[in-house]
Amino acid sequence: MAQAGRLTIFSRVSKEDPKHGRWILPLVVLALVAFTYTFVNNLPAAETKATTTVAADPTTSTTTEAPEETTTTTLPENVIAFVATSDALAARAVEMRARADTINAEYPDITGYGATKELMSTLKADTTAFAEDVAIVVVPATAADKWVDVNTAAAAMEKAADDMLDGLVNTSGSEKRLAALEDYNVAAATFDQAVDAAQDAATDL
């Protein structure tokens, strides 16, 4: 029998779960998840290299042209020489025609009778030599017929030069002289056209 006055202490058993540690792990995991989520979201965005695509301009077109075909024709030496000679003669005709115009335009106001007579005499001699040079040109067979017209024009220039001088020296007034000048100009122009026709015939291979 227990003694009176002696206290007996009994521990009351708790009905609550004493294992508090089992709730810590889920909290730790939850905290890690939250931390990871926050960390990842705060990471700087990854750099992405931009790729630029250049589209072809529809208004720009590129055309590739085929190289031009060149045809080289070698003329015979006699034709080349003929063309060069006839070109030189045509240039002489142009020069004499211009000289004839100047001589008549300057007489008598600028150039007196004596000087004009000398200039016309020189022009007559030059035109005669010119006609002789035209007559001795070696002409290719293909241009022979056309060269007849060239000779005719040169002879007409020679006659007109004679008439010009005669009109100045032996005829009163200026009518004959100026008519001869017109004939000279026409003959010189005809000469140039005839030379072109002869050259075309010579080079038409």
pLDDT digits (tens, 9 = 90+) for 29-40: 566 655 555 654
Nearest of 152, 120, 138, 145 to residue 201 by alpha carbon: 145
Assess if residue 103 is contained within a domain.
Answer: yes
Q: Is residue 188 part of a domain?
A: yes
Contacts of 155 (CB under 8 A, 6+ apart): 131
3-state secondary structure (DSSP) of residue 69: coil
Checking if the pLDDT of 27 tops 90, the result is no
User: Is 127 a member of any domain?
Assistant: yes
**Rounded mean pLDDT, 153-171:** 98
Q: Domain containing 163: what range?
A: 77-203
Q: Which two tokens stand for residue 79?
A: 């034709």
Assigned domain for 15 exists: no
Q: Residue 100: how many CB atoms within 10 A of its CB?
A: 23
* Contact in structure between 72 and 185 (CB atoms under 8 Å): no
The answer for residues whose C-beta is within 8 angstroms of residue 53's C-beta and 6 or more apart is none
Answer yes or no: pTM beyond 0.75: no
Number of domains in the chain: 1
Start-to-end Cα distance in the chain: 161
- Return mean pLDDT, the chain: 81
DSSP type of residue 108: T
- Choice between 155 and 4, residue whose per-residue pLDDT is larger: 155
Answer whether residue 188 shows pLDDT above 60: yes
Percent of the chain with pLDDT over 70: 64
Q: What is the pLDDT of residue 42?
A: 58
Q: So what's the pLDDT on residue 167?
A: 98
Q: Is it the case that residue 15 has pLDDT exceeding 80?
A: no
Answer yes or no: is 156 within a domain. yes
Residue 178 belongs to some domain of the structure: yes
Task: With a cut of 70, say whether residue 197 has pLDDT above it.
Answer: yes
Identify the three-state secondary structure at position 194. Answer: helix
**151 neighbors 134 (Cβ within 8 angstroms):** yes
Task: Write down the pLDDT at residue 180.
Answer: 98
Q: Are 117 and 165 in contact (CB under 8 A)?
A: yes
State the CATH number of the domain containing residue 96.
Answer: 1.20.120
- pLDDT bin (cut points 50, 70, 90) of residue 7 is very low
Question: Quick check: 137 pLDDT over 80?
Answer: yes
Q: What confidence score (pLDDT) does residue 179 get? A: 98
Residue 61 lies in a domain: no
Domain membership flag for residue 184: yes
Report the alpha-carbon distance of residue 88 to residue 81 in Å, rounded: 11
CA dist., res. 39 & res. 187, Å (int): 108
| Residue predicted with more confidence, 117 or 45 | 117
Measuring CA to CA, which residue among 60, 69, 163, 73 is closest to residue 120? 163
Mean pLDDT value of segment 97-113: 98
